[in-house]
C-alpha cells in the first residue's frame, strides 16, 4: 500500500518539535528565530545629536543671516562624535559640531558648514536655519522600553543591527539544527577518488549536506558506511550525541544488503513506508535514542534523495528551527512540453524554467531516471504533477518547487500539497 505524500509529511511534522532556546552572541544569531520579544534598553538616539557637520546655534541668533549680511558668531570650541562633555551654549555664540556629536545644551539647530565660511575662531553664517533643523532628537527613533523585535522573528542583518543598537549583545534564540548526513553503501568512495569497477563516488553526502546548509542548518557528514548492520548501528550510535537530526542515504530498498532498514526497523519509532511519489518511494522516518532524535532515511538514488530532502526533511528542519514548514509558495508555470507521469503517484518532475512574455515556462530537464545527476544539475525545480494525471500536456499549468537560486518568487506561507495543480484544475 502506498501512502500519500501529505500523510508521510504530516507524520514527520507532528513528530519533530522546535529546539530548546539558547542564548547566542549576536555574531552567531544570523538566520536564527528569536525565542523572546526584545525590548529596547535605551532610547535611540540616546541624546540629541547633530545630523550635519556645522555649527550649533540658537536659531533666533541667525534668523536674519544672508550672504549680503552674514551673521558673525564667536566659536566656543569643537564638539566631535564621542565627546562626553555636557557643553552649554550661550546665546550669541556657537560651537563647531560634527555629525553624530551631542548638541550642546541651549542650541536648538545646526547650521551646515556649507552655509558658512567654515571659520574656526569665529564663523560667518550666510543663511539661517529654523528651530530644530538638523538636530536628531533623543528617542526620535526608538523609545526606551519599547518592544523592537517580536518573538518568532527570523534574524537577518537589520534585526541584528537593531538588537545591538538597543543594548543587547546576546539574544535568546531557537538554535540552528545540527544534522549529520550518513551515506551508506559498500560501493561508495570519497569524492576526488577515481572509482574502480563497481565503485561509485559518494555524491549524496556532499549534496545533502549542501542542501541542508542552503537552509541555514549546520551539517556534518559521515561517508561510505558499509552495508553491514554492525557498522551502521555503531555509526548511528556515535553520531547521535552530536545531531539534532540524522539523515541517512541508501540501504532502504528491498535489497538483501539494505542494512539501514534492517537496523532501524528495530530502533526507536522508525517506520518504513512506500510513499506515492516518483522518485522517492521508499521512505523511513522515526526517532531514536534517549533524546528522541529524528532520523530520516532517504533512498540511495541521488535524485530520489534530493526530492525526499525537499519534500520531507527541509520542512521538518525548518520547524525544528522555529520557522514555518514552508516559507515560500510554489512557482506557477506552464508546461512548454508534454511528458508522461505515473498514475497514482505524485511526480516530482525535474524541469528547467524560462521566463517568456506570458510567464514562466517549464520544460523537462532531460532524463528523468532517479539515478541521473546530469539532468538534475540542469533543473531549476521539481514540477509537482498530481497522482491522477498520467500525462502533462503542453500549456498545462503546473506548480513548481524551486531549487536553489532558480527563478524563485518569495511569497509567504503556502499550501504546497493541498491544491490541485495541473491542467484545468488549478483553483483561484
CA distances to 160, 203, 260, 287 from 149, rounded to whole Å, are 10, 41, 44, 34
Count of alpha carbons within 13 angstroms of residue 398, beta-carbon side: 36
To ligand AMP, the closest distance from the beta carbon of 385 in angstroms equals 23
To ligand AMP, the closest distance from the beta carbon of 187 in angstroms equals 5
To ligand AMP, the closest distance from the beta carbon of 254 in angstroms equals 9
Indicate whether 183 belongs to the interface with ligand AMP (CB under 6 A). Answer: yes
Residue with Cβ nearer Mg ion (247 or 360):
247
Q: Please identify, among the stretches 94-102, 206-214, 300-308, 345-353, the one whose residues bind Mg ion according to the rule CB under 5 A.
A: 300-308
Indicate whether 187 belongs to the interface with ligand AMP (CB under 6 A). Answer: yes
Q: Please identify, among the stretches 34-42, 148-156, 248-256, 338-346, the one whose residues bind ligand AMP according to the rule CB under 6 A.
A: 248-256
Indicate whether 251 belongs to the interface with ligand AMP (CB under 6 A). Answer: yes
Count residues near ligand AMP (CB under 6 A).
20
Indicate whether 203 belongs to the interface with ligand AMP (CB under 6 A). Answer: yes
Q: What stretch of H or E contains 233? A: helix 229-240
As a whole number of angstroms, the distance between CA 76 and CA 92 comes to: 11
As a whole number of angstroms, the distance between CA 87 and CA 89 comes to: 7
| CB 388 within 8 Å of CB 361 | no
As a whole number of angstroms, the distance between CA 388 and CA 222 comes to: 39
Binding residues for Mg ion restricted to 375-414, rule: CB under 5 A: none
Indicate whether 301 belongs to the interface with ligand AMP (CB under 6 A). Answer: yes
As a whole number of angstroms, the distance between CA 192 and CA 7 comes to: 39
As a whole number of angstroms, the distance between CA 173 and CA 21 comes to: 5
Instruction: Look at residue 381 and give the partner it binds from ligand AMP, Mg ion, none, a contact being a CB closer than 5 to 8 Å depending on partner kind.
Output: none
Residue with Cβ nearer ligand AMP (102 or 302):
302
As a whole number of angstroms, the distance between CA 270 and CA 284 comes to: 7
Q: Please identify, among the stretches 68-76, 194-202, 216-224, 293-301, the one whose residues bind Mg ion according to the rule CB under 5 A.
A: 293-301
Indicate whether 249 belongs to the interface with ligand AMP (CB under 6 A). Answer: yes
Residue with Cβ nearer Mg ion (141 or 187):
187
Q: What stretch of H or E contains 54? A: strand 54-57
To Mg ion, the closest distance from the beta carbon of 251 in angstroms equals 5
Task: Report the residue from 200, 218, 329, 420 that binds ligand AMP according to the rule CB under 6 A.
Answer: 200
Indicate whether 250 belongs to the interface with Mg ion (CB under 5 A). Answer: yes
Indicate whether 299 belongs to the interface with Mg ion (CB under 5 A). Answer: no
Closest listed residue to residue 351, CA positions, set 363, 342, 340? 363
CA distances to 193, 197, 207 from 190, rounded to whole Å, are 6, 15, 13
To ligand AMP, the closest distance from the beta carbon of 184 in angstroms equals 7
Amino acid at each position: 500500500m502506498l501512502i500519500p505524500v501529505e500523510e508521510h509529511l504530516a507524520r514527520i511534522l507532528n513528530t519533530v518539535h522546535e529546539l530548546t532556546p539558547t542564548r547566542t552572541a549576536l555574531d552567531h544569531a544570523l538566520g536564527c528565530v528569536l525565542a523572546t520579544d526584545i525590548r529596547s534598553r535605551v532610547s535611540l538616539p540616546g541624546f540629541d545629536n547633530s545630523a550635519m557637520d556645522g555649527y550649533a546655534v540658537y536659531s533666533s541668533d541667525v534668523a536674519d543671516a544672508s550672504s549680503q549680511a552674514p551673521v558673525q558668531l564667536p566659536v566656543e570650541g569643537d564638539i566631535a562624535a564621542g565627546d562626553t562633555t555636557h557643553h552649554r551654549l550661550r546665546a550669541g555664540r556657537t560651537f563647531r559640531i560634527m555629525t553624530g556629536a551631542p548638541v550642546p545644551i541651549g542650541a536648538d539647530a545646526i547650521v551646515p558648514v556649507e552655509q558658512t565660511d567654515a571659520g574656526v575662531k569665529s564663523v560667518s553664517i550666510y543663511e539661517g536655519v529654523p528651530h530644530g533643523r538638523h538636530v536628531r532628537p533623543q528617542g526620535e527613533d526608538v523609545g526606551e522600553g519599547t518592544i523592537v523585535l517580536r518573538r518568532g522573528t527570523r534574524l537577518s542583518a537589520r534585526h541584528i543591527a537593531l538588537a545591538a543598537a538597543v543594548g543587547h549583545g546576546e539574544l535568546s534564540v531557537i538554535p540552528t539544527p545540527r544534522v549529520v548526513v550518513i551515506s551508506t553503501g559498500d560501493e561508495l568512495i570519497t569524492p576526488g577518488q577515481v572509482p574502480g569497477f563497481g565503485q561509485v563516488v559518494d555524491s549524496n553526502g556532499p549534496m545533502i549536506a549542501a542542501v541542508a546548509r542552503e537552509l541555514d542548518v549546520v551539517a556534518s557528514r559521515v561517508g561510505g558506511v558499509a552495508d553491514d548492520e554492525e557498522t551502521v548501528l555503531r555509526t548511528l550510535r556515535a553520531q547521535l550525541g552530536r545531531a539534532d537530526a540524522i539523515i541517512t542515504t541508501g540501504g532502504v530498498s528491498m535489497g538483501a544488503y539494505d542494512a539501514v532498514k534492517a537496523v532501524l526497523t528495530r530502533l526507536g519509532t522508525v517506520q518504513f513506508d512506500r510513499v506515492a511519489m516518483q522518485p522517492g518511494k521508499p521512505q523511513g522516518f522515526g526517532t531514536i535514542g534517549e533524546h528522541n532524535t529524528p532520523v530520516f532515511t532517504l533512498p540511495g538514488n541521488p535524485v530520489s534523495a534530493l526530492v525526499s530532502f525537499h519534500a520531507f526533511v527541509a520542512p521538518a528542519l525548518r520547524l525544528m528551527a522555529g520557522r514555518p514548514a514552508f516559507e515560500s509558495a510554489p512557482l506557477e508555470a506552464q508546461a512548454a512540453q508534454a511528458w508522461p507521469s505515473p498514475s497514482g503517484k505524485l511526480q516530482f518532475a525535474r524541469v528547467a524554467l524560462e521566463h517568456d512574455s506570458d510567464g514562466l515556462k517549464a520544460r523537462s530537464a532531460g532524463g528523468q531516471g532517479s539515478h541521473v545527476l546530469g539532468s538534475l544539475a540542469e533543473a531549476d525545480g521539481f514540477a509537482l504533477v498530481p497522482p491522477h494525471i498520467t500525462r502533462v500536456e503542453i500549456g498545462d499549468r503546473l506548480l513548481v518547487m524551486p531549487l536553489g537560486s532558480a527563478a524563485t518568487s518569495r511569497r509567504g506561507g503556502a499550501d504546497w500539497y493541498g491544491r490541485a495543480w495541473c491542467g484545468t484544475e488549478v483553483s483561484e
